[in-house]
Amino acid sequence: MPTALRTPRTASLSPSRRRTPEVTATNPLNTPFTTVDAAELYQVPNWSGGWFRVSEKGAVEVTPSPGLHAPLRSIVDEIVERGESLPVILRFPQVITGRVKHLNESFQAAIQEYGYGGHYQGVFPIKVNQRRVVVESVAAAGYDYAHGLEAGSKAELALCLAQKMHPDALLCCNGFKDDGFIKLALWGRTLGKNVVITIEKYSELDRILKQAKALGVRPAMGVRFKLHARGSGQWEESGGDQAKFGLNAYELLRVVERLREEDMLDTLVMLHTHIGSQITDIRRVKVAVREATQTYAGLVAAGAQLKYLNVGGGLGVDYDGSKTTFYASMNYTVKEYAADIVYTVQEVCKARSVPDPVIVSESGRALTAHHAVLIMPVVDVTGPTRDLEDLAPADENSHQIVKDMEEILVNITGRNYRESYNDAVGDKQTLHNLFDLGYVTLPDRARGEALFNAILRKIAKLIQHEKYVPDELEDLQKVLADKYICNFSLFQSLPDNWAIQALFPIVPLDRLNEKPTRQATIVDITCDSDGKIEKFIDLRDVKATLPLHEPGDRPYYLGAFLMGAYQDVLGSAHNLFGKVSEAHVTVRPGGRFNIDLFVRGQKARRMIESMGYEEPMLRDAIEDQADAALKTKTLAPGQEQELLEDYGEELLGYTYLEYEES
């Protein structure tokens, strides 16, 4: 039996759980800040899975295989030197190759260890990421393993049929289907593809049989069963009796009987199950696989000639590195996942005297999340007023409330900080009330607000190493946080963060040998107040701020990691910010790299045209307005051509901010 998993340290923690500041073992008080401290601060070893690391020089490096490494900052610098604009997504196909290899070899190792009588064949559901570099990388890396693809629509099927695949590799057709979908799948059989059409609802069976008879093609079918077992995490509701897809036990037996009547029982080759995406708890996987295998054995006993047991998707990604059942984590490894599935299937089949089936899983997130990094340039920083020196000091004409706040600031100590905080909060409220009534001037209000922020910063410094922090002071870091404005759209590039509060590790690309001195949140450049990131990964909880460095003369870049699954396909066109440019990078020995392909992001005119406008119409409208402006003399002679050139240039430009990088 697989080795028992260790009990998660914080499996029951919720995002709202409070935590007290503590001194880490790697960075006791008053010691120099090192790259080891940085790696721990940003949890790089915990979430990266070995695909990224912090170098001795303080830079984040991609490490797609032993002996290969390259600093992300150097890659970005080369892109900028080529004259390309940021933001940009860095894609590392070698990481996809490594993930495909790791998954397949984990199952092979488990099969060998337990003497399992069948084998394993993975399937990549391309709904996770249909980008060409992703699909082709998975297909190429999986060829020797007969690793297949899964399509959930006609468009996806058309894409999958064009891929070079091992003859035995599965091409699973899932989702609801019309006649066109089914016919295309059947034509795939004539092309030599191992296409299996999944019956998602009982009525699809007649449709498949009708089209197969019309084309004279003998189909291969699977049937999805609604497991009683359910997954864990954010997609728990996608499994169980109320699942969107699948047949119940009675309908499964009806499929068997109908195919027996048609003398086509041999065409039912797969039982397909699924309990949800990003399963956080391995125990849920084992329970579901046991139920699925019992169902498989029951269908075999009923006369079905099944070959494949498809346990579906759900293999998670540890986004926060905590190795717990928290929704952004997982309390198991890929090897443990494979071992538990193989052992459970074998155990049930042995008890039921059923031959071991070919095990199929549909892992997508686990194969693609690690390969892509969003590079976000910091373009500005805003936040609470820091410099009291920039404001006029209080004098005899200043309001007494301002003088009181200055006295609070001077007299704060480790003994009275709680009392000082309460006094400052009361004084700030009084300050605003008096301003509304006209008794406090605007300069006094500005001075008072700056003093309040200074009081909070002083208190935060005093309590940063306290074992107990009063409830009212828990959110000081968030209140004092700076806003780092980054050149990207949250809705386009990290939509899951906005929509379902998904967490993505965010790390500065370099300067990791320097101690970060600011606590920050991240805001994008959209005109939407929701375009912000205020939740960050942490081993014990979800942090409200991210430690960052003081921006300097050199461009400061942040990387959002593990964003290679779903984000490319779910992004929206909020404010008409389009798809981001992307660089496909191969890492070479000696810290070198090649940018094999650079795909420029969408131009403004393409985004505008997607809303129903036409470029010539836009240009004509501006030209007509320019002619009218010349007549009214709001446009000077000679400026019309310059205006039209600038307008045309922006239509052909990147939708994101374009700054001259220094």
Question: Which CATH number do you get for residue 182?
Answer: 3.20.20.10
Residue 201 corresponds to which amino acid?
K
Q: Is 309 labelled as part of a ligand binding site?
A: yes
Domain assignment of residue 384, yes or no = no
Rounded to whole angstroms, the Cα distance separating 285 from 269 reads: 23
Q: Is 318 labelled as part of a ligand binding site?
A: yes
Query: What pLDDT was estimated at residue 464?
Result: 80
Q: In the listed set 433, 462, 477, which residue is the last one of a domain according to the structure?
A: 477
Residue 188 near residue 217, CB atoms below 8 Å: no
Query: What pLDDT was estimated at residue 20?
Result: 37
Q: In the listed set 460, 477, 494, which residue is the last one of a domain according to the structure?
A: 477
Q: Is 315 labelled as part of a ligand binding site?
A: yes
- Residue 369 DSSP one-character state: G
Torsion of CA 333, 335, 337, 343, to 10 degrees: -150
Both 338 and 431 in one domain: the answer is: no
SS3 527: coil
Residue 141 corresponds to which amino acid?
A
- Residue 15 DSSP one-character state: T
Q: Which of 574, 99, 575 is nearest to 372 (CA)?
A: 99
DSSP string, 580-640: PEEEEEEEEBTTEEEEEEEEPPPBHHHHHHTTT--HHHHHHHHHHHHHHHHHHTSS-TTHH
Backbone Cα Rg of the chain: 30
Rounded to whole angstroms, the Cα distance separating 549 from 234 reads: 33
Residue 519 near residue 547, CB atoms below 8 Å: yes
Both 333 and 441 in one domain: the answer is: no
**With a cut of 70, which residues of the chain have pLDDT below it?**
1-30, 230-244, 385-392, 660-662
Both 345 and 407 in one domain: the answer is: no
Q: Is 456 labelled as part of a ligand binding site?
A: no
Both 428 and 353 in one domain: the answer is: no
Q: Is 310 labelled as part of a ligand binding site?
A: yes
Could you tell me which residues come within 8 angstroms of residue 563 by beta carbon, excluding any fewer than 6 positions away? 89, 369, 372, 373, 374, 493, 494, 504
Both 440 and 323 in one domain: the answer is: no
Torsion of CA 30, 32, 36, 42, to 10 degrees: 70
In the chain, the percentage of residues whose pLDDT exceeds 90 is: 83
Rounded to whole angstroms, the Cα distance separating 291 from 230 reads: 11
Both 177 and 254 in one domain: the answer is: yes
Q: Which of 153, 188, 187, 156 is nearest to 170 (CA)?
A: 188
Both 406 and 365 in one domain: the answer is: no
Q: Which of 86, 71, 67, 103 is nearest to 368 (CA)?
A: 103
Alpha helix (H) residue ranges in 66-223: 72-81, 93-114, 132-142, 154-161, 179-190, 204-215
- Residue 10 DSSP one-character state: T
How many domains are contained in the chain?
3
Q: Which of 632, 101, 616, 53 is nearest to 366 (CA)?
A: 101
Judge if pTM exceeds 0.95: no
Q: Is 317 labelled as part of a ligand binding site?
A: yes
Domain assignment of residue 106, yes or no = yes
Residues recognised as catalytic: 527
Both 305 and 410 in one domain: the answer is: no
Show the CA angle centred on residue 658, arms to residues 655 and 662, nearest 5°. 160
Domain assignment of residue 352, yes or no = yes
Domain assignment of residue 121, yes or no = yes
Residue 197 near residue 268, CB atoms below 8 Å: no
Both 308 and 230 in one domain: the answer is: yes
Both 205 and 267 in one domain: the answer is: yes
Domain assignment of residue 130, yes or no = yes
Query: How many CA atoms are closer than 13 Å to the CA of 531, on its beta-carbon side?
Result: 23
Q: Is 161 labelled as part of a ligand binding site?
A: no
Query: What pLDDT was estimated at residue 26?
Result: 46
CA 85 to chain centre: 23
Neighbouring-strand partners of residue 548: 518
Both 108 and 157 in one domain: the answer is: yes
Both 254 and 159 in one domain: the answer is: yes
The token pair that represents 482 in the structure block: 């700076």
Q: Is 379 labelled as part of a ligand binding site?
A: no
The token pair that represents 595 in the structure block: 């940018």
Domain assignment of residue 434, yes or no = yes
Strand (E) or helix (H) holding 349: helix 334-352
Rounded to whole angstroms, the Cα distance separating 590 from 588 reads: 7
467 is in which domain, residue-wise? 400-477
Neighbouring-strand partners of residue 506: 560
Query: What pLDDT was estimated at residue 558?
Result: 98
Q: Is 312 labelled as part of a ligand binding site?
A: yes
Residue 232 near residue 280, CB atoms below 8 Å: yes
Domain assignment of residue 323, yes or no = yes
Q: In the listed set 477, 495, 513, which residue is the last one of a domain according to the structure?
A: 477
CATH of the domain at 466: 1.20.58.930
Q: Which of 55, 81, 84 is nearest to 70 (CA)?
A: 55
DSSP string, 445-476: HHHHHHHHHHHHHHHHHHHTT-S---GGGTTH
Sort strands 518-523 and 532-533 into parallel, antiparallel or unpaired. Answer: antiparallel
Q: Please state the length of the chain.
A: 662
Torsion of CA 76, 80, 82, 83, to 10 degrees: 150
Q: Which of 536, 578, 556 is nearest to 484 (CA)?
A: 556
Residue 535 near residue 319, CB atoms below 8 Å: no
Q: Is 314 labelled as part of a ligand binding site?
A: yes
Domain assignment of residue 41, yes or no = no
Residue 584 corresponds to which amino acid?
H
